[in-house]
């Protein structure tokens, strides 16, 4: 069981927007702005798409955005494209002994 | 642009030691800009952070659940860093990724910006 809770799957049609939630506690997501999101296509390494809650790496499409409210972080993908179909993982620093906690991952299906 | 490439045996016997290396190209490992670390992913499952070190070995972070079996070392002469995990079991079967963490004004940035392609390590007789 993962320390951060993500929905197992979400889906959307091309052009639509979707949001993936990542729920933690006041010891992790709620404590600091060290939430990051990763996109992983089958057979490939994860790729960071959001860090520090809402920062995008240089060159990444602004269709990807991140936010946080209380103990829940969110990843929003707007203008869905077929290439967005992948697994998405959230990660957070935690003040507990674990130091870093992960979400279980969300499979995004583009219909 | 930094690039990472994992190398090591794909099969390890139970109770033995898993040893992997991560070859770094595109920049020196002896840099104040990054920590060097490892993350793993069991087949069909989620990610698990193993640990990260600074190039001089003076600062490091390990997953407490693995700390007793894991060590990470940096070799600045060969521009690579390594992972050793002792007493492996089938539960250690996973794709192992090496990855960097940036250093910011606040220190360790707690995310992973550059990843290797990963290498599958199977623990089996």
Residue-wise pLDDT for A50-70, tens only, equals: 999 999 999 999 999 999 999
> Which residues in chain A have their CB less than 8 angstroms from residue B46's CB?
2, 89, 102-105
- Which residues, in sequence order, are CB contacts of B72 under 8 Å at separation 6+? B36, B37, B38, B50, B51, B52, B53, B60, B62, B81, B82, B83, B84
Per-residue tens of pLDDT for chain A, all 111 residues: 678 999 999 999 999 999 999 999 999 999 999 999 999 999 999 999 999 999 999 999 999 999 999 999 999 999 999 999 999 999 999 988 778 999 999 999 999
- Which residues, in sequence order, are CB contacts of B12 under 8 Å at separation 6+? B18, B88, B92, B121, B122, B123
The pLDDT value recorded for residue A1 is 64
- In what helix (H) or strand (E) does residue B52 lie, and over which residues does it extend? strand B48-53
Query: Rounded to 5 degrees, what angle do the CA atoms A77, A79, A82 make?
Result: 90
> Which residues in chain B have their CB less than 8 angstroms from residue A51's CB?
109, 111, 113
Tell me the pLDDT tens digit for each residue of B24-57. Answer: 999 999 988 899 999 999 999 999 999 999 988 8
Q: How confident is the model at residue B123 (pLDDT cuts 50, 70, 90)?
A: very high
- Name the residue among A34, A89, A99 with its Cβ closest to that of B47: A89
How far, in Å, CA of B22 to CA of B35, rounded? 13
Nearest to A91 by CA among A78, A109, A70, A105: A105
- Looking at the complex, report in whole angstroms how far the Cα of residue B26 sits from the nearest Cα belonging to chain A: 18
| Residue B97 dihedral angles phi and psi, to the nearest 5° | -110, 140
Neighbours of A82 (CB within 10 A): 8
- Looking at the complex, report in whole angstroms how far the Cα of residue B96 sits from the nearest Cα belonging to chain A: 10
């Amino acid at each position: 069981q993962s320390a951060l809770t993500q929905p197992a799957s979400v889906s959307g049609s091309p052009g639509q927007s979707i949001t993936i939630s990542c729920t933690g506690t006041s010891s992790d997501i709620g404590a600091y702005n060290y939430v990051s999101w990763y996109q992983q296509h089958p057979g490939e390494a994860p790729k960071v798409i959001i860090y520090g809650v809402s920062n995008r790496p240089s060159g990444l499409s602004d269709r990807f955005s991140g936010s946080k409210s209380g103990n829940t972080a969110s990843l929003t993908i707007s203008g869905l494209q077929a290439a967005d179909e992948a697994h998405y993982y959230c990660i957070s620093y935690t003040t507990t002994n674990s130091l870093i906690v992960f979400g279980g991952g969300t499979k995004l299906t583009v219909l | 642009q930094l690039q990472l490439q994992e190398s090591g045996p794909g099969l390890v016997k139970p109770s033995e030691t898993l040893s992997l290396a991560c070859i770094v190209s595109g920049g020196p490992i002896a840099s104040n800009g990054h920590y060097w670390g490892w993350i793993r992913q069991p087949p069909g499952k989620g990610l698990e952070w193993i640990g990260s070190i600074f190039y001089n070995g003076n600062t490091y972070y390990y997953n407490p659940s693995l700390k007793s079996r894991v060590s990470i070392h940096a070799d600045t002469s060969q521009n690579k860093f390594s992972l050793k995990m002792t007493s492996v079991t089938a539960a250690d079967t996973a794709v192992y990724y090496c990855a960097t963490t940036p250093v910011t004004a606040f220190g360790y940035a707690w995310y992973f910006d550059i990843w290797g392609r990963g290498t599958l390590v199977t623990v089996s007789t």
